[in-house]
C-alpha cells in the first residue's frame, strides 16, 4: 500500500462501502474538502455570533451593576457640563426631526416654498434656510480656524520627530567634558543634597528611601533629606523609623516634618532649602516618593555639570514598573515615551531648555537661588522654576540614557486628577510669567519660543482644538451639513500623528486605535483644566497627591529580600526594629479601628457620559447622510467616551 494511502474500515458494512484513498491530493478528495469547508466556516461563524449575542445581556448587566455600585463624581455645576448637556438635548430633538423628515422624504431644498402646504414642513424649511444662511458660515469659519491650529500643531510634532530622528542617526548625546575616571579616583565628587518630598504616601516611602540611600556616592559627600508632609502621626513615626534604620547603617539622612504645611510640594521644598547646612552643598537631586533611582544615578548625572558653569539642571528619564498593568497604563506609557524620547531630548539639545519634570533631576543650587527659589503661586512649581531659570540664562541638559523607575496611575480617577493639575498649572504660570518674559534680557528668538511654542501651542492650542474640533464641531456638522469637516482631518492626519507618537514605544503599535480614541476622550479634561487655569477658576488650584500602589520590579523584590536577610544577621538593629515595629503595629491597628473605612468603588463621570451620548446621537444622524468615515469615527469615539464615563478603563474595584 502506498505510504500516503488511508484505509477507512467500519464494522457495520451494510449499505456502507469500504473506501481506500491512495492519494490525498486527488481531485475528488480536494473537491470534497472544498464542499465541506464553507459549511464548517458557516457553523463556526454562527457559533461565534451566538456567543456574542449571549454576552450582550451580561454586558448590560455589568453596566447596570456598575451604575448601581459606583460613586458618582462630585456634583459638577460648571458651565462646560451645562453646555454639553444642553447641546445633547438639542441634538436629540434635531435627530428626531431629521429622522421624521427622512422617512417622509422631505427634500424641501428642491421644492418651491409656495408649494409647501403643511405648517410642519414650513417650519422645517425655515430651519434649513436659517442654518444655511446664518449658522453654517460661522461654523465654517470656526472649523477653518481649528483646522489651521491642528495643522500648525501637527507640523510642530513632525519637526520634533525629525529632530529626534536626526539625533538618532548622528548618535548625538550630551557629552561629559572631563574623563569619567575623575569619579573613580574621587577628584570630582561635589557635595550633593538629595531630597525626597512626600505626603501621606504609605505604600511607597520605604522603597524610595531605600533606593536613595543606596546611591553609589561617597557617604560623606551627600545628605538625604526626607521631607514628610504627612498628617498621619502613625505614618510619620513609620517614616522616622525607616530613616533611623538607614542612619544606623552609616547613611547621612535627616527626617523633616513641617508643622505648618502650606504651599504643597513647593512649600515643602522651599522650607527644606532654608536649613543652614544647605549652603555646604553644590547640587540638589530631587526624587518623588514613588521613584527608585539606580545606584549609579549621581555618577551619570552630576559629571555633566563639570566645566559647564552655565548648566543649571540635568534631567533624567522616567521608566515605569507598571506600564503593562492595564490598558490605561499602556496608553500613558505611549504619551510619556514620546515626551521624554522626543520632546525633552530635542528641546534639550537644540534649545537647552525644557520643562523640569519635578523629579529625577539634579539642580545646581546656585541656579535655584538666583532664579528666586521655589514659589507657591501655581500647582506646577517644577515648570515655574524652569522658566525663571531659563530667563536668567541657565541652560538645561537632558540625558535620555539615565533612567529612574516610578509608577503610573492605575485608576482613571487618579490619572484624571493628575492631568487636570498638569494642564491647569501651565496656564496659571503663563498669566504670571508673560510680563516677565517680555521684559527679560534673553533673545527675541528665545522669547518667541517660550511664548508661542512652549506655552501657547503645546499647552493652550492642543487641548483647545482637540476638544472643539472633534467633540463640538464634528457633531455639529452632522446636523448642519452645509459646513463640512474633511475626512483627512478626522481620519488620515490624526492616524499619522498617532503613529509618530507611538514610534518611541514600538511595542505599543497594537494599541494605535485605542490610543487615538482615548486621547480625544481626554481632551474634555484637558480643555476644562486649561480654561480653569487661564481664567483662575475654582478647580485651578486643586492639588491631589497621585495615588500610588507601591509596586516594585522583580529585581527590586530580590534586592529587598536580600536586604531583609542581612537585617536578620544584625542583632542590635533587628531587636530595635522588632520592638518599635510591634509598637507601631499596635498603634496602626488602633488608628485604623478608630477611622471608619470608606468603601472603594469606581466612579461615574457625567461629562464623559454626556459627550458619549452626544457623539452617538451625531453618529445616528450621519447614517441618514451615508457618511462612512464620519459615522465610524463618531460611533467608536462615542463608545470610548461611554467606557471612560462608566470608569471601565484602568483599575477596577471588585
Q: Is the separation of the CB atoms in 546 and 291 below 8 Å?
A: no
What angle, rounded to 10 degrees, do the helices at 381-391 and 264-272 form?
60
Burial of 240 from C-beta contacts in 10 A (0-12 / 13-18 / 19+): middle
Q: Choosing from 228, 288, 290, 382, which is the catalytic residue?
A: 382
642: helix, strand or coil: helix
List residues bridging with 317 in a β-sheet. Answer: 403
Q: Is the separation of the CB atoms in 316 and 297 below 8 Å?
A: yes
- In order, the DSSP letters of 484-538 are ---HIIIIIHHHHHHHHHHTTSGGGGGGHHHHHHHHHHHHHHHHHHHHHHHTT-G
The separation between CA 213 and the C-alpha centre of its own chain, rounded to angstroms, equals: 30
Helices and strands of the chain, counted as H and E runs = 24, 12
The separation between CA 79 and the C-alpha centre of its own chain, rounded to angstroms, equals: 25
Nearest to 543 by CA among 374, 322, 377, 384: 377
- In order, the DSSP letters of 51-77 are HHHHHHHHHHHHHHHHHHHSEEPPP--
The H or E element that residue 257 is part of is: strand 253-257
* Residue for grid cell 496608553: 331
Grid cell listed for 46: 454562527
Grid cell listed for 195: 531630597
Catalytic residue at 382?
yes
Q: How many CB atoms lie within 10 A of CB 10?
A: 10
**Angle at CA 308, nearest 5°, toward 302 and 311?**
70
How far apart CA 76 and CA 607 sit, in angstroms, is: 9
Q: Is the separation of the CB atoms in 291 and 360 below 8 Å?
A: yes
Q: How many CB atoms lie within 10 A of CB 452?
A: 14
Q: Is the separation of the CB atoms in 346 and 396 below 8 Å?
A: no
Q: Choosing from 229, 290, 384, 647, which is the catalytic residue?
A: 229
Q: Is the separation of the CB atoms in 396 and 390 below 8 Å?
A: yes
List residues bridging with 395 in a β-sheet. Answer: 311
Longest dimension (CA), the chain: 105
Q: Is the separation of the CB atoms in 308 and 177 below 8 Å?
A: yes
318: helix, strand or coil: strand
- Would you name the residues annotated as active-site residues? 229, 382
Amino acid at each position: 500500500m502506498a505510504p500516503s494511502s488511508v484505509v477507512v474500515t467500519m464494522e457495520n458494512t451494510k449499505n456502507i462501502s469500504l473506501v481506500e484513498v491512495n492519494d490525498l491530493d486527488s481531485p475528488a478528495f480536494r473537491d470534497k474538502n472544498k464542499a465541506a469547508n464553507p459549511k464548517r466556516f458557516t457553523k463556526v461563524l454562527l457559533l461565534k455570533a451566538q456567543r456574542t449575542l449571549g454576552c450582550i445581556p451580561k454586558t448590560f448587566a455589568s453596566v447596570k451593576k456598575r451604575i448601581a455600585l459606583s460613586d458618582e463624581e462630585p456634583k459638577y455645576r460648571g458651565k462646560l457640563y451645562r453646555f454639553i448637556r444642553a447641546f445633547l438635548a438639542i441634538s436629540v430633538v434635531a435627530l428626531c426631526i431629521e429622522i421624521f423628515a427622512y422617512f417622509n422624504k422631505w427634500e424641501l431644498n428642491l421644492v418651491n416654498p409656495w408649494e409647501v402646504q403643511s405648517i410642519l414642513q414650513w417650519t422645517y424649511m425655515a430651519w434649513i434656510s436659517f442654518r444655511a444662511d446664518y449658522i453654517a458660515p460661522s461654523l465654517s469659519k470656526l472649523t477653518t480656524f481649528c483646522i489651521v491650529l491642528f495643522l500648525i500643531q501637527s507640523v510642530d510634532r513632525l519637526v520634533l520627530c525629525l529632530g529626534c530622528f536626526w539625533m538618532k542617526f548622528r548618535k548625538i548625546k550630551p557629552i561629559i567634558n572631563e574623563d569619567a575616571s575623575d569619579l573613580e579616583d574621587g577628584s570630582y565628587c561635589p557635595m550633593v543634597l538629595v531630597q525626597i518630598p512626600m505626603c501621606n504616601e504609605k505604600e511607597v516611602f520605604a522603597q524610595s528611601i531605600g533606593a536613595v540611600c543606596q546611591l553609589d556616592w561617597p557617604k560623606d559627600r551627600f545628605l538625604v533629606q526626607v521631607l514628610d508632609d504627612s498628617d498621619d502621626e502613625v505614618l510619620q513615626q513609620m517614616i522616622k523609623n525607616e530613616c533611623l534604620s538607614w542612619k544606623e547603617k552609616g547613611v547621612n539622612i535627616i527626617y523633616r516634618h513641617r508643622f505648618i504645611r502650606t504651599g504643597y510640594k513647593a512649600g515643602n521644598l522651599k522650607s527644606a532649602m532654608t536649613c543652614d547646612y544647605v549652603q555646604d552643598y553644590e547640587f540638589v537631586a530631587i526624587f518623588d516618593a514613588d521613584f527608585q533611582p539606580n545606584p549609579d544615578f549621581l555618577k551619570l548625572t552630576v559629571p555633566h555639570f563639570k566645566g559647564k558653569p552655565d548648566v543649571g539642571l540635568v534631567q533624567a528619564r522616567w521608566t515605569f514598573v507598571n506600564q503593562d498593568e492595564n490598558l490605561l497604563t499602556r496608553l500613558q506609557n505611549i504619551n510619556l515615551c514620546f515626551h521624554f524620547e522626543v520632546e525633552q531630548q530635542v528641546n534639550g539639545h537644540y534649545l537647552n531648555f525644557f520643562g523640569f519634570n519635578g523629579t529625577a533631576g539634579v539642580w545646581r543650587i546656585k541656579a535655584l537661588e538666583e532664579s528666586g527659589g521655589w514659589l507657591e503661586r501655581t500647582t506646577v512649581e517644577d515648570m515655574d522654576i524652569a522658566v525663571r531659570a531659563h530667563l536668567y540664562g541657565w541652560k538645561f541638559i537632558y540625558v535620555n540614557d539615565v533612567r529612574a523607575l516610578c509608577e503610573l496611575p492605575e485608576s482613571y480617577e487618579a490619572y484624571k486628577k493628575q492631568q487636570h493639575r498638569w494642564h491647569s498649572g501651565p496656564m496659571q504660570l503663563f498669566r504670571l510669567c508673560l510680563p516677565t518674559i517680555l521684559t527679560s534680557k534673553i533673545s527675541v528668538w528665545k522669547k518667541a519660543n517660550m511664548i508661542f511654542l512652549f506655552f501657547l501651542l503645546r499647552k493652550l492650542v492642543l487641548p483647545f482644538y482637540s476638544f472643539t474640533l472633534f467633540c463640538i464641531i464634528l457633531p455639529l456638522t452632522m446636523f448642519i451639513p452645509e459646513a463640512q469637516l474633511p475626512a483627512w482631518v478626522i481620519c488620515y492626519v490624526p492616524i499619522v500623528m498617532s503613529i509618530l507618537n507611538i514610534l518611541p514605544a514600538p511595542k505599543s503599535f497594537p494599541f494605535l486605535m485605542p490610543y487615538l480614541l482615548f486621547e480625544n476622550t481626554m481632551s474634555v479634561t484637558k480643555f476644562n483644566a486649561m480654561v480653569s487655569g487661564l481664567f483662575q477658576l475654582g478647580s485651578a488650584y486643586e492639588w491631589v497627591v497621585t495615588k500610588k500602589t507601591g509596586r516594585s520590579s522583580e529585581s527590586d523584590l530580590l534586592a529587598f529580600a536580600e536586604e531583609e536577610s542581612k537585617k536578620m544577621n544584625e542583632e542590635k538593629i533587628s531587636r530595635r526594629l522588632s520592638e518599635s515595629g510591634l509598637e507601631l503595629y499596635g498603634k496602626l491597628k488602633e488608628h485604623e479601628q478608630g477611622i471608619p473605612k470608606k468603601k472603594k468603588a469606581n466612579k461615574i463621570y457625567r461629562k464623559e457620559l454626556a459627550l458619549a451620548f452626544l457623539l452617538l446621537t451625531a453618529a445616528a444622524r450621519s447614517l441618514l447622510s451615508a457618511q462612512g468615515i464620519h459615522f465610524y469615527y463618531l460611533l467608536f469615539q462615542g463608545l470610548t467616551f461611554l467606557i471612560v464615563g462608566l470608569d471601565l478603563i484602568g483599575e477596577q474595584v471588585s
